[in-house]
Structure 1
Amino acid sequence: MDIIALDVRLDGFDNPIGNLVRDEAGALAFAYSSTYLETPDAIPLSLSLPLEEEAYEDNDARPFFDNLLQERDGPLQKVLDREGLARSDVAGLLFYLGRDCPGALSVLPLGSPAAKVPGNFKTDYRRLDEAQLIKIVHSLHRRQRLPDETEDPSPLAGVQSKIALTILPDGTFAEPLPGSGAPTTHIVKVPDRAHPNDPDLELEALRLSATLGFETAEATVRDFEGVSALIIRRFDRSLDQDNRVIRIHQEDFAQALGLPPSLKYERNGTVDRRFDAEAINSVLNATNDPAAEKQTFIAATLFDLMTGNVDAHAKNFALLYEPGGGVRVAPRYDLMPTRLDPDLTDLLPYAIGEATKLTEITEEDFSVFLRALGIVSERAQRRLRLGLTGQVSGSLIGELRRMDRSGMKRFADLIGHNIDELLTAFGLPVPDQIRERDAYLDRGGGWLLGS
């Protein structure tokens, strides 16, 4: 196996910030450049790769860079087949795919010019007409290849069909000109034929999240000749003083923890290497305001439990790196009431104490969860358990009638059932608005329909 040396670039910096190297045995190493380390506004690639002079060896470097590759097999498989590479050859794959890494990062053959630069709305994008948009959306809906004339400049992680595009100031859709390196501004998520209502369900979950006060990705649903798609504004984009689109460096919690994509659920990890409450606590402790971030995360956990989102895994939480080195948790995104789909698991993405399902949670489990997040005072635990649970459930209850009227009754019934489950587990009274609902998920997971 030959040695491969790659430049690692971060949008906003003129020169490579470091190098990724694969040796003859296939092991990876990453090192920041000395010039970058001396830059006053240097930021780390990851919490798992702090700014240090020493090189990071394979065990530290591999998880972060592996997370830059897509989870969908299709695009990867083309390179694997064409180049005869193994899936474990992260550097070899990034040699061909690294210019299109998600976010502000790119990994390029040594000496290559920057692949990602700010985008000028007037010169760096080409408009897409309605016919082109419809063709793209319908291709994604049918899980077919994109139209030949369509470039996807930012292959996205995850298993859903999606494409990154730009919305220009006048509201029209566009894509970056080939080779421009300009950022996209929005993600278009398209359901498959078996899940046509997913965009509306995810939009409702995002709307509930924003209504309850969580910083949440902005989204809307649009119909493209019979196929609905969710259009999400990217939270890792901004405008500079010249009104150019720029990228903001971000990483998901898997990268921050040095976990490969295969360990994004706690149940897939090991005792010392997994996405659990203690690991989450270590990430939140590295943010600008750990106390506030922890309270928000606990509230978000309660929100997910009540709304039936059991897919809040390590790649569905992210950190944003602000200019000057500040780190904060990104807005909420990828929210879906997965418990409405009987084909999906009811296992939680991370355990609450010893509980791996909503139906198993007890007061003691929640206390164990809070202690793992650094909340050791019994008084503080009680305040969070009673106060936050009451606050989140009360706010959601206030939305149920609106959901009933807007075609979301099945989702509202799921929320009602889950609130009942959690309040009962915590020894809290169940409000009449919940008891009076005429449909619930029974405690075994099946629907019970009232008369």
Structure 2
Amino acid sequence: MNMIALDVRLDGFANPIGNLVRDEDGGLAFAYAASYLDDPNAFPLSLSFPLGDDAFDDNRARPFFDNLLQERDGVLQRVMDREGLARSDVAGLLFYLGKDCAGAISVLPLGAPPVKVPGNYDVDYRRIDGDRLNAIIGSLHRRQRLPEGTEDPSPLAGVQSKIAVTILPNGSYAEPLPGSGAPTTHIIKVPDQEHLQDPRLEFETLLLSRELGFETAQANVVNFNGVDALVIERFDRRLNAENKIVRIHQEDFAQALGLPPSLKYERHGREGRRFDAHAINRILDATVDPASEKQRFIGAVLFDLMTGNVDGHAKNFALLYDRGGRIRVSPRYDLLPTRLDPNLTDLFAFTIGDATKLDDLGFGDFAAFLNALGITSPGAQTRLTKSLTGRLSKGLAAELPRLDRLGMKRFADLIAHNIDELLSAFEIPPPDGIKTRDDYIERGGGWLLGS
């Protein structure tokens, strides 16, 4: 195997920030460039790569750069087949695919010019014709080949079909001009024919999150020629002082922990190398305001339990990197009541104490979870749990009649069921209106309306 050296670039910096090298045995190493370390605006590429002169070996470099490759295998498989590469050859794949990494990072052949730069609304984009956009959405919906001349959306993370676009100030959809390097601003998530309600369910869950005070990605449901899709604003974009769109560097929790995508669920890892409460605590301790971030994270966990979202894995949480090294948790995104889908597991993405699902959760488990997050006083644990649980359950209960009016009674009843179960486990009286609703009972892996 030949050695490969690649430049690692970040949008906003004129020169490469470091190099990724594959040696003759296939091992990876990453090191920062000396010029980047001398830059007063430099910040770590990842929590797993603190700034310094030393190189990071294969055990550290491989998980982070593997996470830059998309989870869907279409483009990967084509490059593997065409170039004769193995899936484990991360550097070899990034040689061909690294220009399309999600976010502000690009990985390019040594000496290649930058491919990601700020975008000017007036000159760097072209409007997408309505008929063509409908054709793209229809193809994604039916899982068919995209119309000719359309970039494959699979470089975006995740397993759902989606495509990145820019929404211009006049509200029209556009795409970056070829070779411009300009950022997109929105993602369109398109359901398959078996999950037609997913856009509406995700939108309402995001809306509930925002209504209850969580910083949450902005989204809307848009109908494209009969297909409802979720149009979601990217939280890793902003306008600079020149009114240009710039990318904000971000990484998901798997990258921050040095975990490959295959270990995004706690149950797939081992002690010391898994996405668990102790690992989450290490991440939150690295943010600019750990105490506030921990309280928000605990609230997010309770919100997810109540709304039936048990898919909060390590790639569904992210960190944003501001200039000056300020790190904060990103707005909430990818919120879906997965317990409504009988084909999905009800197991937690990470354990809460000893509990692996809601049926097993007790106050002692939640206290153990808080202890792992550094909240060790029993009195503080009780006060925080009861105050957050009470506030969120009352807020959600107040929204249930609205969901009923929208024809989403099934979702509303699931929320009521989860609130009742969680508050019973915590010995907290449920808010008004919860006990009087139809209940949901779990049978054969699916949720059925109880009598």
**1:255 corresponding residue in structure 2:** 255
Q: Residues of 1 paired with 2:153 and 2:268: CA distance?
A: 32
Cα root mean square deviation, aligned: 1.2
Counterparts in 2 of 1:163 and 1:305: CA distance versus 1, 3 Å: same
Taking structure 2 as the reference length, what is the TM-score of the superposition? 0.98
Counterparts in 2 of 1:447 and 1:84: CA distance versus 1, 3 Å: closer
Alignment check: 8 A CA contact 2:32 2:51 kept: yes
**1:183 corresponding residue in structure 2:** 183
Instruction: Give yes or no for the alignment of 1:390 onto 2:390.
Output: yes
Counterparts in 2 of 1:219 and 1:388: CA distance versus 1, 3 Å: same
**2:113 corresponding residue in structure 1:** 113
**2:438 corresponding residue in structure 1:** 438
Q: Residues of 2 paired with 1:276 and 1:176: CA distance?
A: 39
**1:122 corresponding residue in structure 2:** 122
- The amino acid that maps onto 2:17 is I
Q: Residues of 1 paired with 2:347 and 2:435: CA distance?
A: 25
Measure how far apart 1:145 and its partner are: 2.1
Measure how far apart 1:448 and its partner are: 5.0
Q: Residues of 1 paired with 2:60 and 2:441: CA distance?
A: 43
Q: Residues of 2 paired with 1:170 and 1:151: CA distance?
A: 23
Measure how far apart 1:155 and its partner are: 1.8
Counterparts in 2 of 1:386 and 1:442: CA distance versus 1, 3 Å: same
**1:99 corresponding residue in structure 2:** 99
- The amino acid that maps onto 1:269 is G
Taking structure 1 as the reference length, what is the TM-score of the superposition? 0.98
Structure 2 gap ranges (5+): none
Q: Residues of 2 paired with 1:446 and 1:84: CA distance?
A: 43
User: Residue deviations 1:71-123, cap 9 Å, x none?
Assistant: 00111101011001000000000000000001000000000000100111111
| Number of matched pairs | 451
**2:316 corresponding residue in structure 1:** 316
**1:351 corresponding residue in structure 2:** 351
Structure 1 gap ranges (5+): none
Q: Residues of 1 paired with 2:386 and 2:237: CA distance?
A: 37
Instruction: Give yes or no for the alignment of 1:146 onto 2:143.
Output: no
Once the two structures are aligned, what percentage of the paired residues are identical? 71
Q: Secondary structure at the match of 2:347?
A: coil
Counterparts in 2 of 1:10 and 1:448: CA distance versus 1, 3 Å: closer
User: Residue deviations 1:368-398, cap 9 Å, x none?
Assistant: 1000000001111001111111111111111
Alignment check: 8 A CA contact 2:219 2:233 kept: yes
Alignment check: 8 A CA contact 1:176 1:184 kept: yes
Q: Secondary structure at the match of 1:44?
A: coil
**2:365 corresponding residue in structure 1:** 365
**2:71 corresponding residue in structure 1:** 71
Measure how far apart 1:445 and its partner are: 5.7
Counterparts in 2 of 1:84 and 1:395: CA distance versus 1, 3 Å: same
Q: Residues of 2 paired with 1:50 and 1:354: CA distance?
A: 32
Q: Residues of 2 paired with 1:325 and 1:301: CA distance?
A: 27
Alignment check: 8 A CA contact 1:414 1:440 kept: yes
Instruction: Give yes or no for the alignment of 1:43 onto 2:43.
Output: yes
- The amino acid that maps onto 1:129 is D
**1:420 corresponding residue in structure 2:** 420
Instruction: Give yes or no for the alignment of 1:132 onto 2:132.
Output: yes
User: Residue deviations 1:418-443, cap 9 Å, x none?
Assistant: 00110011111123411100232348
List aligned pairs for 1:20-31, cutoff 5 A.
20-31=20-31
Q: Residues of 1 paired with 2:247 and 2:441: CA distance?
A: 43
Q: Residues of 2 paired with 1:431 and 1:103: CA distance?
A: 42
Counterparts in 2 of 1:427 and 1:128: CA distance versus 1, 3 Å: same
User: Residue deviations 1:51-88, cap 9 Å, x none?
Assistant: 11000000001110000000001111010110010000
Q: Residues of 2 paired with 1:448 and 1:181: CA distance?
A: 49
List aligned pairs for 1:81-92, cutoff 5 A.
81-92=81-92
Counterparts in 2 of 1:79 and 1:90: CA distance versus 1, 3 Å: same
Measure how far apart 1:149 and its partner are: 1.8
Alignment check: 8 A CA contact 1:5 1:21 kept: yes
Q: Residues of 2 paired with 1:136 and 1:150: CA distance?
A: 8
**2:160 corresponding residue in structure 1:** 160
**1:169 corresponding residue in structure 2:** 169
- The amino acid that maps onto 2:293 is E
Q: Residues of 1 paired with 2:431 and 2:310: CA distance?
A: 24
**1:15 corresponding residue in structure 2:** 15
Alignment check: 8 A CA contact 2:237 2:245 kept: yes
Bigger mean CA offset, 262-271 vs 434-443: 434-443
Alignment check: 8 A CA contact 1:189 1:229 kept: yes
- The amino acid that maps onto 1:226 is G
Q: Residues of 1 paired with 2:219 and 2:362: CA distance?
A: 35
Counterparts in 2 of 1:447 and 1:342: CA distance versus 1, 3 Å: closer
Q: Residues of 2 paired with 1:445 and 1:17: CA distance?
A: 48
List aligned pairs for 1:256-275, cutoff 5 A.
256-275=256-275
Alignment check: 8 A CA contact 1:414 1:441 kept: no
**2:327 corresponding residue in structure 1:** 327
